[in-house]
Amino acid sequence: MTTISAREFNQQVSRARQAALEEPVFITERGRPRHVLLSIEAYEALLGGQMSIVDLLHFGGDLDVEFPRAQGLAQAAEFD
C-alpha cells in the first residue's frame, strides 16, 4: 500500500499516478487518509463491472457498450 502526503502528491503527481497503476495510492492530510488514487481498471473492478450510464458517458472515448433491445414497448400506429 502506497501512502503519500497531500504535499508530496502536489509535488510528485507523476510518481503518484505511476504508483496507482500497481496499487491504490492513499493521500493523507495531517496524517489521516483523505483520498485514494486508483487506476481505471481498479475502479471498474471495485464497481464489479456495474458502471452506470452516466459513468460510461462521462469517460467518453471508445466504449464497447451494447444496449438491450426494448421488448413490448412499441405498438403499431393506427391511422384513421
Q: In this predicted model, what pLDDT tens digit does every residue of 4-30 receive, in sequence order?
A: 999 999 999 999 999 999 999 999 999
Do residues 48 and 56 touch, judged by C-beta distance below 8 A? no
- Predicted TM-score (pTM) above 0.75: no
DSSP 63: -
The three three-digit cell numbers of residue 12, written as one number: 510528485
More confident residue, 40 or 18: 18
DSSP structure class, residue 74: -
Judge: domain 2-51, CATH 3.40.1620.10.
Answer: yes
Domain ranges of the chain: 2-51
Our separate counts of H helices and E strands in the chain read 4, 3
13-50 core/surface letters (b: 16 or more CB in 10 A; e: else):
eeebeebbeeebbebbeeeeeeeebebeebeeeeeeee
